Amino acid sequence: MESIFEEFEDMDFDEYKLNELTAGDILDAEINLNINLPKEYIELLKIQNGRYLKYKALPVSFKNSYADDHIAVDFLFGIKENEGIYKSKYLLNEWGIKKKDFVTISGDEHTWLVLDYRKNKDEPEITFIDTEENKISVIFKTFKEFVQIHWWI
């Protein structure tokens, strides 16, 4: 799988970069969050466990509080105890999102990209949440579709 992560000369610059992903991290996250992580997400995090992305925006077919035709997606959360996706419940709760079946993989404040387990506990959809517009929009049926799209820069 090709990396979609930004390369920085100063590696300390990237606040989302976590230590190397281990099998224990994956198992612990799946048990504690009561989910099955998409295999493509795990493969990406094995390349780099969270980081800013090369691409900063994702085209979408709906208006949102960010833009008329795209959403900002400039990083992916990694997995380490009490970091990355472990902060999902706290972050979503802080912004008034009460759904239990969401795991944040990117976003901040008013907009979030989540693994959406509402319909399928084994293969989550990729969903965009816009708290300003009070909208929840499914973007992709699988994480695999998400990583295979042609990103905007």
Q: How confident is the model at residue 152 (pLDDT cuts 50, 70, 90)?
A: low
Domains of the chain in start order, with CATH, are 11-148 (3.40.1580.10)
Q: How confident is the model at residue 123 (pLDDT cuts 50, 70, 90)?
A: very high
- Select the more confidently predicted residue: 11 or 145: 145
- Select the more confidently predicted residue: 145 or 10: 145
Residue 79's contacts (CB-CB under 8 Å, 6 or more residues apart) are 18, 21, 25, 26, 29, 37, 45, 49, 50, 85, 86
DSSP per residue, 59-114? E-SS--SS-SSEEE--EE--EETTEEGGGHHHHHHHTT---SSEEEEEEETTEEEE
The predicted structure's pLDDT at residue 135? 92
Percent of the chain at pLDDT exceeding 90: 56
R_g (Cα) of the chain, nearest Å = 14
d(CA 36, CA 33): 9
* Res. 10: pLDDT tops 60: no
pTM: 0.91
The predicted structure's pLDDT at residue 39? 96
- 16-61: per-residue pLDDT in tens? 889 999 999 999 999 999 999 999 999 999 999 999 888 888 889 8
The predicted structure's pLDDT at residue 14? 75
The predicted structure's pLDDT at residue 5? 73
Backbone angles phi and psi of 129, in degrees to 5: -115, 130
Q: How confident is the model at residue 127 (pLDDT cuts 50, 70, 90)?
A: very high
